[in-house]
Amino acid sequence: MTWLITGGAGYIGAHVARAMAEAGERVVALDDLSAGIPNRLPESIPLVRGSSLDADLLKRVLADHAVTGVVHLAARKQVGESVDRPTRYYQDNVGGLATLLEAVAEAGIKRFVFSSSAAVYGNPDVDLITEDTPCAPMSPYGETKLAGEWLVRAAGRAHGIATVCLRYFNVAGAAAPELADTGVFNVIPMVFDRLTRDEAPRIFGDDYPTPDGTCVRDYIHVADLADAHLTAAKRLAGGATGDLTVNIGRGEGVSVRELITLIGEVSGDTRQPVVEPRRPGDAPRAVASAALAARELGWSARRGVREMVESAWQGWQLHHAGPQAH
């Protein structure tokens, strides 16, 4: 098999490409480098620079590399930006997926893995979110992921493509410092950013109906997430048919306050957080049921939150220390 990894120079895509290559799979990466960093990939993994919206390029890449399966991660992913620019998000995330699936069907490729997100669920009032929990995304970004899943399953049925949609929860950490997330969109880098600026971390709301009043999330180490992709790809290569949609989380909640305490221990900067008003749209609790992934994929996360924070901190220091530091 040869796997095309779209978004392969991105934070998660580079981890997936490396994990699959290290497991002996042939991989080729495609990335328009709008957010990707080519150096995240070793030279042994070919990187094609281009967009999932470019039908001619896709056709060429699939043929030139004799691709037999696709892992599609390329997408825009900023929730706030998606509220301001919904057409762009639908065009890139749903339009790019439609263009890719068209090329995949034409090329006769029968295996497809799609990066979905816990954002498809919105704000459900449940202890553990299962795959049967109703989907009600709260942003255009989440909508593009849900519409993407529908499209993946419909194209799978129409063209006999076996598909897996992976609904990632809160991805964190790095397998190596140079692979770390360089964006400041998630809570861990946001706290690092505050500390680096010599400012106290912020908690948005401490009056939620949770044990310590702060929001609770399910964090998943990006190296575990990469293993989940490898497992999904192997399932498809092994002849699985039909579609599977599955949560990728640890099934354990960690509160923002607990996370900030852990970051203090790891960074040595234990200043007390300041509490600010709630942000609109933040769910009190979003924790996955990890049961279906264990049952269907035989996969479960191995790394804990401390490992995520430690590896993310090493990556942050690599990217943000020195003369450019704030």
Out of 141, 168, 208, 219, pick the active-site residue.
141
Which of 3, 4, 5, 10 touches ligand NAD (CB under 6 A)? 10
Neighbours of 63 (CB within 10 A): 12
Q: Name the 3-class secondary structure at 94.
A: helix
Six-digit token string for 188: 């861990």
Residue 92 within binding range of ligand NAD, rule CB under 6 A: yes
Which of 89, 112, 121, 168 touches ligand NAD (CB under 6 A)? 168
Calpha distance 35→175 (Å, rounded)? 19
Q: How many residues belong to the site for ligand NAD (CB under 6 A)?
A: 30
Asked whether the beta carbons of 2 and 66 are under 8 A apart, the reply is yes
Cβ 138 to ligand NAD shortest distance, Å: 14
Residue 28 within binding range of ligand NAD, rule CB under 6 A: no
Q: In angstroms, how far is CA 3 from the centroid of its own chain?
A: 18
Q: How far is CA 33 from CA 38, 49, 114, 157, 215, in A?
A: 8, 7, 19, 32, 33
For ligand NAD, give the closer residue by CB, 118 or 195. 118
Residue 35 within binding range of ligand NAD, rule CB under 6 A: yes
Calpha distance 145→118 (Å, rounded)? 9
Q: How far is CA 37 from CA 11, 31, 211, 297, in A?
A: 8, 9, 39, 30
Residue 147 within binding range of ligand NAD, rule CB under 6 A: no
Is residue 141 annotated as a catalytic residue, yes or no? yes
For ligand NAD, give the closer residue by CB, 7 or 201. 7
Region of 58-66, 74-82, 282-290, 304-312 interacting with ligand NAD (CB under 6 A): 74-82
For ligand NAD, give the closer residue by CB, 141 or 313. 141
Beta bridge partners of 290: none
> Considering only residues 264-293, where is the footprint of ligand NAD by CB under 6 A?
none
Residue 33 within binding range of ligand NAD, rule CB under 6 A: yes
Asked whether the beta carbons of 228 and 21 are under 8 A apart, the reply is no
Nearest 5°: phi and psi at 102?
-60, -45
Region of 62-70, 131-139, 149-157, 164-172 interacting with ligand NAD (CB under 6 A): 164-172
Q: Name the 3-class secondary structure at 296.
A: helix
Which of 4, 25, 48, 52 touches ligand NAD (CB under 6 A)? 52
For ligand NAD, give the closer residue by CB, 50 or 205. 50
Cβ 147 to ligand NAD shortest distance, Å: 13
Region of 81-89, 168-176, 197-205, 263-271 interacting with ligand NAD (CB under 6 A): 168-176
Calpha distance 270→257 (Å, rounded)? 12
For ligand NAD, give the closer residue by CB, 11 or 208. 11
Which of 3, 5, 13, 256 touches ligand NAD (CB under 6 A)? 13
What's the angle, vertex CA 86, arms to CA 82 and CA 89, rounded to 5?
Answer: 70
Residue 165 within binding range of ligand NAD, rule CB under 6 A: no
Cβ 34 to ligand NAD shortest distance, Å: 4
Nearest 5°: phi and psi at 124?
-75, 145
Calpha distance 200→195 (Å, rounded)? 6
For ligand NAD, give the closer residue by CB, 149 or 270. 149
Asked whether the beta carbons of 27 and 197 are under 8 A apart, the reply is no
Site of interaction with ligand NAD (CB under 6 A)? 6-7, 9-13, 30-36, 51-53, 73-77, 92, 96, 115, 117, 168, 170-171, 186
Catalytic residues: 141
